[in-house]
């Protein structure tokens, strides 16, 4: 018996060792890399804490979704890496053929990854679809100046505009509303799920999606049929890896598990990473704006509250603008990686001024409790006012929690406010905020195109992206005027007037502006090429 | 005198009583009863989850109550069908479950069944790994502690056991991460695999989603190594939680067995203490371990929420935490129900195994 048991044990051990050896022999000889085998810069992995809301261009207007769209969908116009100017991408030419007609000619023999031809009909379909679906989280508001789209022939598209000489329309076509999709795949009147999109392969950008696990891992394959401005990617393929925790993102780039870490690293992380010899911290011009949004219906004394009073609601906003100490937030929370923002257009953009600096606080950018109290007493507001303040912990970086804790402290310290601070994850947050769920809440903005207008039109015209029920005909007129003013000096003046008018109404309260930041391994090249004022992440320029 | 200690002929030292063949008549009935008990167990769990989660009202109110104007809240409640009598909803929910329909998540519009199958395998992998750690650490150390009873190693191991089950898994997880990933750089920080391995494993034909199994199936040893490296810290963090309990249990049982007459007889014959522990005391001591193992599955699944969150192990626990934060009632309910089913089925299997090992439990 004992002998039999020993024999059995030996046989099991032998079988185990043999199986291990056999499987080892059949394994790949390399290191299990993802190289597709083609010559080039190998594959790269980009890590982010951003999340994809949807891959359907009609249903998203957020950085996480747009980042992926920039890799997989073609645009009529795009910004060449290193610049912010919208120039023809899959278009051969694009120009105003009359003040209200913008004509685009497509390159020849364009096709989607599924084999379908990409024609002017797809272009018309894509743009019309964004407008007709008009999803709450979609970019339809960007196309406010569009009257109609006509496909004149297979390669010619004419955009008829409501207001002539629209100076930002080319930029709009390079932005969130501009991805061209396959009309044979997408439904015209409703959004499509990510899995269905991936299955349909309606991609004609620099990459196609090879595999897709939503908000986990996206694998991109170089699209050999892409004929656009961005050219052939410098790598053999790319992956986008999603993180829930920016600490893990930071540690993974330090350990070389990913090549590039983009966005949402905290200021402390950035300062720490700058000391690490294994990685390089790349910084680019910052267009990011962090601000508080007021819902004009549901904020204290808002139009649909029991105690509705526009003057008192304005006083609440003014008092907040007077009390908040941006400098303290920038230095204490963000260690100087953000700067105080005193306008809805970040400092540095053509036409940007700083009206909030003079209008609120002590006149030099510091808070003023006296002015805040005066705003309350002038409007007959009794302190403290209860504010339900929402922020998001996973989309604008972990420091949002510290940022809003400090704002709560500043507001409550004044004795004028009692703040109920709440937070919600982005997937829910992005939907709820347009449904009047949050009376006062955090948002951040990464511009779609490098123009002051991109900080005005999406936020302050009727039916805007914020859906905060703010309307002011004067502001609307000024925004429309700057859009169509051809003379540059005159346009800058109008842009300044628009910022001043918006600062008086305070439908949003600008707080901070920041820089673009990416962290990459020492062997990674090309990161700086995508950190330009177009604010587009183009994985195609990164290689190692 | 020799007849007082019956010497069974089944082992080398002649200590163990001979195995009498069980009549086997009770086993079939036992399995059938245990199997049938699964259904009321799951039904009770499902019912509890359903009603408990509605204590605070319907999911829309739970998520948005006080933040949405009343008329909009009412609109959304009606649209979702949550304004109907709760019993109607309950029976409708049961009907849906019977057809495998767990509904659609509120926050990201995914089919709950699709979400459960996608992430369930990751959690299963983590749980198996953790259980392996628990067994590999708990049983041998428990035997050593029993063997060295009341001596220094025993004291050290008992303290170790207490630390194991008293340390919160997120704390031990962070500690491991800091030590082995950040300071020593030996093991990966987070995730289930490197991007390259993950892509290779998910691109397989009919992947199981259990990475080490997929790596073995495809013969990809590089991926297997990578997956194993990623699994070590999460498995340790979660497995040690249960290892402490196993250690104490094995120690107690082995000590109990070492006091039995047939072991004493062995001692008197000069059989070494080590041999007595490893050869004769461990088997009877393992039976309660198997029973406890079933209960520990629930502990492990609960611990998986914290472990997965700490290590970005994207399984059901990770998703549960995400959906809880997003107050996604439907998704949370679906995940909890699935976990309940896993616990019930595991306990059934454990009961069967225990019955096969020890016929006494059938009665």
Chain B CB contacts of A386 under 8 Å are: none
Going by pLDDT thresholds of 50, 70 and 90, the confidence category of residue A426 is confident
Going by pLDDT thresholds of 50, 70 and 90, the confidence category of residue B137 is very high
Interface test with A, best of B63, B71, B108 (most A CBs within 10 A): B108
User: Would you state the pLDDT for residue B69?
Assistant: 63
Pairing of strands A260-262, A43-48: parallel
Chain B CB contacts of A248 under 8 Å are: 189-191, 312
User: Would you state the pLDDT for residue A504?
Assistant: 97
Record: contact B318-A244, CB cut-off 8 A: yes
User: Would you state the pLDDT for residue B81?
Assistant: 81
Chain B CB contacts of A190 under 8 Å are: none
Of residues B317 and A5, which shows the higher confidence score?
B317
What is the model's pTM? 0.73
* Residue among A382, A390, A374 nearest A417 (CA): A382
* Residue among B288, B319, B316 nearest B301 (CA): B316
Q: How many residues does chain A have?
A: 544
Of residues A448 and B211, which shows the higher confidence score?
B211
Contacts of residue A336, Cβ cutoff 8 Å, sequence gap at least 6 = A267, A330
Question: H/E element holding A401?
Answer: helix A400-413
User: Would you state the pLDDT for residue B62?
Assistant: 66
Record: contact A32-B194, CB cut-off 8 A: yes
Q: List the single range of B15-29, B82-96, B259-273 with lowest mean pLDDT.
A: B15-29
Chain B CB contacts of A27 under 8 Å are: 219-224
Any CB–CB contact under 8 A between A6 and chain B?
Answer: no
The pLDDT mean for chain B works out to 81
Chain B CB contacts of A427 under 8 Å are: 107-108, 326
Name the percent of chain B lying above pLDDT 90. Answer: 22
Nearest to A436 among B68, B181, B226 (CB): B68
Chain A CB contacts of B318 under 8 Å are: 244
Going by pLDDT thresholds of 50, 70 and 90, the confidence category of residue B12 is very low
User: Would you state the pLDDT for residue A63?
Assistant: 85
- Residue A330 region by backbone torsions, left for phi larger than 0, else alpha for psi between -120 and 50, else beta: alpha
Going by pLDDT thresholds of 50, 70 and 90, the confidence category of residue B360 is low
pLDDT tens, position by position, B67-91: 566 776 787 788 778 888 889 988 9
Tell me: pLDDT of A339 over 80.
yes
Going by pLDDT thresholds of 50, 70 and 90, the confidence category of residue B337 is confident
Record: contact B328-A428, CB cut-off 8 A: yes
pLDDT (average), residues A176-202: 94
User: Would you state the pLDDT for residue A517?
Assistant: 84
Tell me: pLDDT of A529 over 50.
yes
The pLDDT mean for chain A works out to 88
pLDDT tens, position by position, B31-75: 888 888 888 888 888 888 788 777 766 767 766 655 566 776 787
Instruction: Determine the distance from the C-alpha atom of residue A474 to the mean position of all C-alpha atoms in its chain, rounded to a whole number.
Output: 28
Record: contact A257-B194, CB cut-off 8 A: yes
Nearest to B198 among A23, A27, A217 (CB): A217
| Distance from C-alpha of A163 to C-alpha of A169, rounded to nearest angstrom | 10
Of residues B337 and A410, which shows the higher confidence score?
A410
User: Would you state the pLDDT for residue A460?
Assistant: 95
pLDDT (average), residues A473-501: 92
Q: Which two tokens stand for residue B202?
A: 């998910």
User: Would you state the pLDDT for residue A92?
Assistant: 96
Chain B CB contacts of A22 under 8 Å are: 219
Any CB–CB contact under 8 A between A216 and chain B?
Answer: yes
User: Would you state the pLDDT for residue A23?
Assistant: 36
pLDDT tens, position by position, A154-167: 999 999 999 888 88
Chain B residue with CA closest to A258: the answer is B195
Going by pLDDT thresholds of 50, 70 and 90, the confidence category of residue A30 is very low
Q: DSSP letter at A331?
A: I
CB-based contact A481:A462 (threshold 8 Å): no
Interface test with A, best of B67, B79, B220, B332 (most A CBs within 10 A): B67
User: Would you state the pLDDT for residue B84?
Assistant: 87
Contacts of residue A497, Cβ cutoff 8 Å, sequence gap at least 6 = A478
Name the percent of chain A lying above pLDDT 90. Answer: 62
Tell me: pLDDT of B185 over 90.
no
| Distance from C-alpha of A122 to C-alpha of A361, rounded to nearest angstrom | 52
User: Would you state the pLDDT for residue B260?
Assistant: 77
Q: List the single range of A60-64, A146-150, B213-217 with lowest mean pLDDT.
A: A60-64
User: Would you state the pLDDT for residue B66?
Assistant: 55
Residue with tokens 């051809």: A486
Instruction: Using CA atoms of B115, B120, B126, B129 in order, give the dihedral in degrees to the nearest 10.
Output: -160
User: Would you state the pLDDT for residue A288?
Assistant: 87
Other C-beta atoms within 10 Å of B168: how many? 12
User: Would you state the pLDDT for residue A40?
Assistant: 53
Determine the distance in angstroms separating the CA of B138 from the nearest CA of chain A, rounded to an integer. 23
pLDDT tens, position by position, A97-114: 999 999 999 999 999 999
User: Would you state the pLDDT for residue A17?
Assistant: 39
User: Would you state the pLDDT for residue A487?
Assistant: 82
pLDDT tens, position by position, A129-188: 999 998 877 899 889 889 999 999 999 999 999 988 888 888 899 999 999 999 999 999
Going by pLDDT thresholds of 50, 70 and 90, the confidence category of residue B18 is very low
User: Would you state the pLDDT for residue A2?
Assistant: 40
């Amino acid at each position: 018996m004992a002998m039999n048991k020993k024999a059995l044990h030996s046989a099991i051990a032998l079988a185990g060792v043999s199986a291990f050896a056999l499987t080892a022999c059949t394994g790949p000889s390399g290191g299990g890399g993802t190289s597709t085998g083609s010559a080039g810069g190998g594959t790269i992995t980009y890590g982010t804490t951003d999340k994809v809301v949807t891959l359907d261009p009609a249903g998203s207007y957020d950085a996480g979704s747009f980042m992926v769209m920039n890799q997989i969908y073609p645009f009529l116009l795009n910004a060449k890496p290193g610049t912010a100017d919208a120039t023809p991408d899959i278009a051969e030419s694009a120009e105003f053929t009359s003040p209200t007609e913008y004509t685009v000619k497509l390159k020849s023999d364009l096709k989607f990854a599924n084999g379908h031809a990409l024609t002017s009909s797809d272009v018309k379909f894509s743009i019309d679809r964004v407008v007709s679906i008009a999803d709450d989280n979609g970019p339809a508001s960007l196309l406010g100046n569009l009257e109609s789209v006509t496909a004149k022939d297979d390669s010619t598209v004419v955009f008829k505009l409501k207001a002539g000489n629209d100076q930002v329309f080319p930029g709009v076509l390079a932005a969130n509303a501009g991805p061209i999709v396959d009309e044979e795949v997408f439904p015209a009147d409703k959004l499509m799920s990510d899995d269905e999109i991936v299955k349909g392969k309606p991609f004609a950008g620099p990459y196609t999606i090879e595999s897709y696990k939503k908000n986990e891992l996206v694998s991109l394959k170089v699209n050999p049929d892409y004929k656009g401005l961005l050219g052939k990617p410098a790598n053999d393929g790319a992956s986008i890896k999603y993180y829930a925790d920016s600490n893990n993102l930071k540690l993974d780039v330090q350990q070389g598990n990913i090549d590039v870490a983009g966005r949402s690293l905290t200021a402390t992380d950035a300062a720490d990473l700058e000391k690490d010899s294994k990685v390089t911290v790349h910084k680019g011009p910052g267009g990011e704006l962090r601000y508080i949004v007021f819902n004009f219906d549901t904020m204290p004394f808002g139009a649909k509250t029991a105690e509705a009073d526009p003057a008192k609601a304005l006083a609440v906003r003014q008092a907040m603008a007077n009390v908040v100490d941006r400098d303290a937030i920038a230095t204490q929370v963000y260690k100087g990686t953000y700067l105080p923002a005193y306008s809805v257009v970040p400092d540095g953009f053509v036409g940007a001024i700083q009206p909030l600096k003079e209008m609120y606080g002590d006149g030099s950018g510091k808070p003023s409790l006296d002015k805040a109290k005066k705003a309350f007493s002038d409007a007959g507001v009794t302190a403290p006012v209860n504010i339900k303040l929402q922020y998001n912990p996973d989309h604008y970086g972990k420091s949002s929690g510290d940022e809003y804790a400090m704002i709560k402290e500043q507001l409550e310290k004044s004795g004028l406010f009692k703040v109920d601070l709440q937070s919600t994850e982005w997937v829910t947050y992005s939907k709820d905020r347009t449904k009047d769920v949050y009376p006062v809440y955090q948002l951040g903005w990464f511009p779609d195109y490098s123009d002051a207008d991109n900080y005005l039109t999406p936020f302050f015209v009727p039916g805007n992206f914020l859906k905060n029920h703010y309307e002011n005909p004067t502001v609307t007129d000024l925004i429309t005027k700057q859009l169509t003013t051809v003379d540059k000096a005159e346009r800058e003046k109008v842009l300044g007037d628009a910022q001043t008018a918006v600062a008086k109404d305070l439908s949003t309260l600008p707080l901070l502006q920041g820089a673009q930041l990416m962290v990459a391994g020492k062997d990674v090249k090309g990161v700086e090429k995508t950190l330009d004022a177009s604010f587009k992440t183009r994985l195609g320029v990164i290689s190692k | 005198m020799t007849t007082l200690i019956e010497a069974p002929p089944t082992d080398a030292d002649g200590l163990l009583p001979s195995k009498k063949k069980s009549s086997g008549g009770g086993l079939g009935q036992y399995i059938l009863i245990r199997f049938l008990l699964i259904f009321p167990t799951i039904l009770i769990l499902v019912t509890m989850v359903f009603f408990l989660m509605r204590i605070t009202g319907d999911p829309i109110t739970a998520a948005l109550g006080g933040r949405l104007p009343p008329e909009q809240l009412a609109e959304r409640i009606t649209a979702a069908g949550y304004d109907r009598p709760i019993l109607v909803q309950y029976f409708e929910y049961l009907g849906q479950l019977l057809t495998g329909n767990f509904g659609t998540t509120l926050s990201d519009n995914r089919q709950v069944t699709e979400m459960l199958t996608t992430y369930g395998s990751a959690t299963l992998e983590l749980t198996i790994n953790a259980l392996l750690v628990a067994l590999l650490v708990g049983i041998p150390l428990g035997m050593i502690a029993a063997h060295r009873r009341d001596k220094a190693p025993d004291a050290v191991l008992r303290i170790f056991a207490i630390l194991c089950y008293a340390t919160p898994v997120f704390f031990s997880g962070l500690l491991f991460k800091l030590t082995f990933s950040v300071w020593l750089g030996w093991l990966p920080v987070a995730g289930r695999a490197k991007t390259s391995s993950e892509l290779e494993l998910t691109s397989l034909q009919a992947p199981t989603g259990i990475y080490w199994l997929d790596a073995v199936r495809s013969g990809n040893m590089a991926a297997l190594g990578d997956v194993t490296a990623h699994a070590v810290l999460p498995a340790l963090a979660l497995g040690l939680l249960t290892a402490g309990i196993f250690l104490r249990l094995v120690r107690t049982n082995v000590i109990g067995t070492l006091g039995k007459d047939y072991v004493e007889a062995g001692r008197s014959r000069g059989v070494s203490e080590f041999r007595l522990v490893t050869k004769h005391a461990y088997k009877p001591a393992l039976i309660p371990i198997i029973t406890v193992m079933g209960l520990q599955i629930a502990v492990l699944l609960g611990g998986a929420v914290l472990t997965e969150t700490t290590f970005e192990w994207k399984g059901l626990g990770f998703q549960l935490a995400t959906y809880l934060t997003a107050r996604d009632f439907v998704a949370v309910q679906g995940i909890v129900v699935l976990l309940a089913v896993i616990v019930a089925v595991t306990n059934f299997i454990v009961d069967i195994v225990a019955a096969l090992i020890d016929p006494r439990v059938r009665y």
